[in-house]
Amino acid sequence: MTDEAILEGFKSLHEAMAEGFDRVGARIDGLEAKMDRRFTGLEAKMDRRFTGLEARMMRRFDERDTRIEDHERRITTLEAQG
């Protein structure tokens, strides 16, 4: 076995590793691009949904006061009858 043969083996190993890492890097880049495409606009959709839910919750709180007042009125009426 000569030094040249050993060096050639290391060169081949280096090339194989570099190609493998390049393929892995390309695959990761492809996955990142796919994720970016999939989630584009998702943040805006979530913001709109949270805004809608917040508005709905606030309407329910506003209605709560009306329900409590009606409940108090009904209790007063029932107590007067009793």
Which pLDDT tens digit goes with each residue over 6-50?
888 888 999 999 999 999 999 999 999 999 888 888 888 899 999
The token pair at 65 is: 């006061």
Sign of CA dihedral 47, 49, 55, 57: negative
**Residue 23 sits in the same domain as residue 1:** yes
**Average pLDDT over every residue of 70-76:** 84
**Residue 31 sits in the same domain as residue 2:** yes
Q: What is the C-alpha separation between 82 and 49, in angstroms, rounded?
A: 48
In terms of residue numbers, what domain contains 24? 1-40
**Residue 4 sits in the same domain as residue 31:** yes
**Residue 53 sits in the same domain as residue 70:** yes
Question: How many domains does the chain fold into?
Answer: 2
Predicted pLDDT of residue 17: 94
Diameter over CA atoms, the chain: 112
> 46: how many CB neighbours lie within 10 A of its CB?
10
**Residue 5 sits in the same domain as residue 34:** yes
